[in-house]
């Protein structure tokens, strides 16, 4: 189970979305939040740090959120880290691809802060 | 351009601003762009590439007062000037509108690939769509100013 001491990685190429996600996490009591602007930067953080939850955008320049998810699930040392995909790609096929790749849950943009908070809470209780 | 494309872009624009910023824009009557030039202060533009040579662009262009209001509501703090945070927010708004519309269009059998938006930020810049295809413009009003959404769609190269 996640606690308010858990370290959470927020990955998005748009600072606006990182701010919205961070504000929601802080409202839920999480203070240990690290950020990455893309998949490659996220890989370095995940390798070097103990990350307890990854909240990641799908559509980013360079490495996509889906590619980062596949890399996380294929790497023994952090393959079980919960992964919440935040995506504007609401097409059924995309959601199926994320599920097949092992996503823990996903939030479709646009979303209210309430919906995002509920998804994070649901993961926190199961993790 | 087919009416369902316009409807989905219109619906997605309203939904994104209502959900993310709690701003309810009032759409005006859509029209076909005649002068092929629009004026705005901050514009987000995204390409749409679909199957069988279907291509298009979507642009959303805000007046300064309107986007300062929208982003202030979205992020919960007061913004008083056009800066990098405003540019970033317009990119994300464009991305979300495009994504939401593409999801609905996919349900109708029109599939478009994802793309990365571009943002132009300059007082009273002009937007010119380089295509012979009709450009549909939807004007919107908010309580702090207006913005326009415009879209064009064609098959083959350069319209």
Domains and CATH numbers, chain A: 8-126 (3.40.50.2300)
Q: Which residue has the higher pLDDT, B146 or B126?
A: B146
Give the pLDDT confidence score for residue A94 in this predicted structure. 83
pLDDT per residue as tens digits for the range A102-118: 999 999 999 988 999 99
- Name beta bridge partners: B155: B54
Give the pLDDT confidence score for residue B5 in this predicted structure. 82
Six token digits for residue B158: 């350069």
Give the pLDDT confidence score for residue A56 in this predicted structure. 97
CA distance A18 to A55: 9
pLDDT band at B38 (very low <50, low <70, confident <90, very high): low
- Residue B108: count of CB within 10 angstroms of its CB: 11
Q: Mean pLDDT, chain A, as a whole number?
A: 93
Six token digits for residue A126: 């199961």
> Smallest Cβ distance to A14: which of B19, B91, B103?
B91
Domains of chain B by residue range: 3-154
Per CB distance under 8 Å, which residues of B are interface residues toward A? Answer: 15-16, 19-20, 71, 74-76, 84-85, 88-89, 91-92, 95-96, 98-100, 102-103, 106, 111, 114, 116
Name the class of domain B3-154.
alpha beta
> Smallest Cβ distance to A59: which of B15, B19, B114?
B114
Give the pLDDT confidence score for residue A34 in this predicted structure. 98
Q: Mean pLDDT, chain B, as a whole number?
A: 88
Chain B partners of A62 at a C-beta cutoff of 8 Å?
Answer: none
**Separation in Å, CA of A76 to nearest CA in chain B:** 31
> Smallest Cβ distance to A59: which of B74, B88, B95?
B95
Q: Which of A88-92, B84-88, B151-155 has the highest mean pLDDT?
A: B84-88
pLDDT per residue as tens digits for the range B69-80: 999 999 999 999
**Separation in Å, CA of B34 to nearest CA in chain A:** 32
Cα nearest neighbour of B96 on chain A: A88
Asked whether residue A48 carries a pLDDT value surpassing 90, the answer given is yes
Cα nearest neighbour of A92 on chain B: B103
**Separation in Å, CA of A89 to nearest CA in chain B:** 5
Least confident piece of the model among A50-64, B33-47, B61-75, B142-156: B33-47
Give the pLDDT confidence score for residue A29 in this predicted structure. 94
Give the pLDDT confidence score for residue B126 in this predicted structure. 77
> Smallest Cβ distance to B88: which of A15, A92, A108?
A15
Give the pLDDT confidence score for residue B1 in this predicted structure. 58
Sequential DSSP letters for chain A: ---TT--EEEE-S-HHHHHHHHHHHHHTT---EEEESSHHHHHHHHHHS--SEEEEES--SSS-HHHHHHHHHT-GGGTTS-EEEEES---HHHHHHHHHTT-SEEEESS--HHHHHHHHHHHHHH-
pLDDT per residue as tens digits for the range B81-114: 999 999 999 999 999 999 999 888 888 888 888 7
Asked whether residue B158 carries a pLDDT value surpassing 60, the answer given is no
């Amino acid at each position: 189970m996640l606690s308010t001491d858990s370290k959470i990685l927020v990955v998005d190429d748009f600072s606006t979305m990182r701010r919205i996600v961070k504000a929601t996490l802080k409202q839920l009591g999480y203070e240990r939040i690290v950020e990455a602007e893309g998949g490659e930067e996220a890989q370095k953080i995940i390798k070097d740090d103990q990350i307890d939850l990854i909240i990641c955008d799908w559509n980013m320049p360079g490495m996509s959120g889906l590619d980062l998810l596949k890399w996380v699930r294929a790497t023994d040392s952090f393959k079980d880290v919960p992964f919440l995909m935040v995506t504007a790609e609401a097409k059924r096929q995309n959601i199926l691809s994320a599920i097949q790749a092992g996503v823990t849950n996903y939030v479709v943009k646009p979303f209210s802060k309430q919906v995002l908070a509920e998804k994070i809470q649901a993961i926190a209780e199961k993790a | 351009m087919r009416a369902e494309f316009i409807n989905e872009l219109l619906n997605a624009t309203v939904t994104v601003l209502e959900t993310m910023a709690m701003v309810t824009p009032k759409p005006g009557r859509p029209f076909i762009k005649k002068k092929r030039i629009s004026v705005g202060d901050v514009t987000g533009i995204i390409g749409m590439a679909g199957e069988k040579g279907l291509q298009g662009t979507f642009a959303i262009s805000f007046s300064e007062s309107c986007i300062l209001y929208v982003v202030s509501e979205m992020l919960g703090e007061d913004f008083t000037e056009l800066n990098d945070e405003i540019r970033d927010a317009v990119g994300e708004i464009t991305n979300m509108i495009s994504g939401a519309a593409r999801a609905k269009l996919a349900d109708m059998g029109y599939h478009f690939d994802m793309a990365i938006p571009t943002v132009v930020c300059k007082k009273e810049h002009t937007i010119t769509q380089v295509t012979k295809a009709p450009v549909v413009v939807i004007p919107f009003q908010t309580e702090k100013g207006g913005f326009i959404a415009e879209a064009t769609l064609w098959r083959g190269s350069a319209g």
